[in-house]
Structure 1
Amino acid sequence: MPAELMTLTVIAAVVAGMGLIVYFLPSIIDPDGTPESSVPAGEILHRVASEDTCHHAPEIGYTVDDAHAMMRERLDCTIDRCAAKRMAYTTLVESGRIVPASERHVR
């Protein structure tokens, strides 16, 4: 029994020591809590959002012929990530040249 109690005591002491190290070590290493070269989260989110698209869409939109050409040019792009292809796709859907898969089953 005393050996088991000693083992449990050692384990409890090790766990408590590890907890103290994990809790206090960051404040010992960096008392401020902020790195010198930190970047605000808002700036990171803005940068990621601007990189979310592989090709930018024009502000005025596409004609139907331009939309067809854009769809052929952007074969490797998806409409989820490519604003140019998404606008071309939307133009073709609105003109009735493409019927989305979800609408095909309804008709």
Structure 2
Amino acid sequence: MGGWQVFAATMVLVGAMAVVVLNVRPQRLPTGRTSVAEIRQRLLAESVPPAMPVAAALSHSAPDRRFEVPEAHRTMQEHLDCSVGDCPRKAAAYQALVAAGRIKPR
């Protein structure tokens, strides 16, 4: 056998061994840790935003007292679909934010 034949036979043998080694994978043993799929599932379940109250369930009546700024902001967000002219609660929140300098009326 010539030198090139020995070299070729060695390369074929190395290639066959590489195929065998790459195809043999170690068995995954349970480690007690959470899998990536389980983490992904939990993140998707936690990322669903909480349901906002239905507009019909919101109180549109005027408040008993003047709104503080955080309450006014929250009320404005809750009453996005209401207009200031039609909803006394949103109007009170709007006036509180104007008085606090958070909104400039046009």
Q: How would you bin the TM-score normalised by the shorter chain?
A: 0.3 to 0.5
User: By percentage of residues, which structure has more helix?
Assistant: 1
Larger Rg: 2
- When normalised by structure 2's length, the TM-score is 0.44
